[in-house]
Amino acid sequence: MMRHGINLKIAGTATAAGSAASGGALRAWIAAVAVLVLVVGALMPIGTASAAEVNVYSYRQPFLIKPLFDAFTRQTGVKVNVVFAPKGMVERIKREGRNSPADLILTVDIGRLHEAVQAGILQGVQTERLTGNVPAPYRHPEGLWYALTLRTRVAYASKERVQPGELKRYEDLATPHWKGRICMRSSQHVYNVGLLASMIAHHGEAAAEEWARGLLANQARKPQGNDRAQVRAVKEGECDLALGNHYYMGKMLQDKEQATWADAVRMVFPNQADRGAHINVSGAGVARYAPHKAQAVRLLEFLTDDLAQRMYAEQNFEYPVKAGVPWSGLLESWGKFTADDLPLVDVARNRALAIRIFDRVGFP
Ligand SMILES: [Fe+2]
């Protein structure tokens, strides 16, 4: 079926200001807003900000989220307490049960959001702002979670050994043309599980298993390392093509050594003539026993609004989930693309089967 990435296409084209928004202009704009918020805050009577607070449990690193929460506090007077929990967050909140101080849970990948759903640690919230800001494919139908940013899984193709147009679709990755030419991280990593889950949703179990088998047969080496390590392997000539999340291009460009890896590859957004590139997300949901539920909803809404969307997406080179929010200059430079609008709940639903398929075909 022909599907178009409604959201990303709109996001990339909607505003004239967007295309003009270079990183510098954006920073100046954010600074101006911050000053305005500070001035307004200073004029408010002391005491309005009294005891209001909200507790966020975050899988994301503090440097990514602190500027956002500072902006929220300036705007609302609500203090944000952050618990950074890169591992075992779901188990911890489950263990804390009804006494959990968690109000808002912030994480990455539909797999981890789905885990939180299954653990019963989230509650559904629906507001006009949330459903207006976050397109339906990228939020839970009952409001258990909302995507905040979008990321896509791209191919990083050697500039030297892969011709432009040589790879067009994820499906091609399993054809003999790529025999011994592909590098990727472990199949069991959430990013690869998500991709296979989307293949199941689009093609059914049998075809997805065939694809996994073909992809395994095309590996240049045993899967190892993270997404960026695959790009390094392309640079070093171990393989011609790597699979990785798109934002790693931005991260590599920020690092002197890794920038040379990035320079060796071209990003390929797959399936541009049909359903669009596979989409995954970072997202958040209100905790089931949130002691400060009203503030949690307020913060969640804030994170889906324009200011936070620009700041948050730019921090990690991700795409804003809200349509019409301008992209950073770097994202603009990578070009617009068609995004798969397969509902992420369909990806979530197929995750367990995807893991079994990777096991079945013996994919490390
Ligand atoms: Fe990542």
- pLDDT tens digits, residue range 274-321? 999 999 999 999 999 999 999 999 999 999 999 999 998 888 999 999
CA of 282 to the centre of ligand 1 (A): 10
Average pLDDT over all residues of the chain: 89
pLDDT given for residue 221 in this prediction: 98
CA of 39 to the centre of ligand 1 (A): 37
> Is 52-364 in CATH node 3.40.190.10?
yes
Look at residues 362, 7, 363, 352 and name the one whose alpha carbon lies nearest to residue 194. Answer: 352
Neighbours of 121 (CB within 10 A): 25
pLDDT given for residue 17 in this prediction: 35
- pLDDT tens digits, residue range 213-265? 999 999 999 999 999 999 999 999 999 999 999 999 999 999 999 999 999 99
pLDDT given for residue 28 in this prediction: 56
CA of 245 to the centre of ligand 1 (A): 7
Domain ranges for the chain: 2-43, 52-364
CA of 226 to the centre of ligand 1 (A): 9
What's the whole-model pTM score? 0.85
CA of 156 to the centre of ligand 1 (A): 15
27 pLDDT band, cuts 50/70/90, is low
d(CA 326, CA 137) in angstroms, rounded, equals 20
pLDDT given for residue 63 in this prediction: 87
CA of 293 to the centre of ligand 1 (A): 29
pLDDT given for residue 24 in this prediction: 54
Helices (H) and strands (E) in the chain, counts: 17, 10
Task: Give just the sign of the alpha carbon dihedral 84, 104, 59, 22.
Answer: negative
- pLDDT tens digits, residue range 3-13? 334 344 433 33
d(CA 252, CA 245) in angstroms, rounded, equals 12
pLDDT greater than 60 at residue 137: yes
E strands, the chain, where? 53-58, 79-84, 104-108, 122-123, 146-158, 182-183, 241-245, 265-268, 279-287, 319-320
pLDDT given for residue 33 in this prediction: 52
CA of 316 to the centre of ligand 1 (A): 9
CA of 246 to the centre of ligand 1 (A): 9
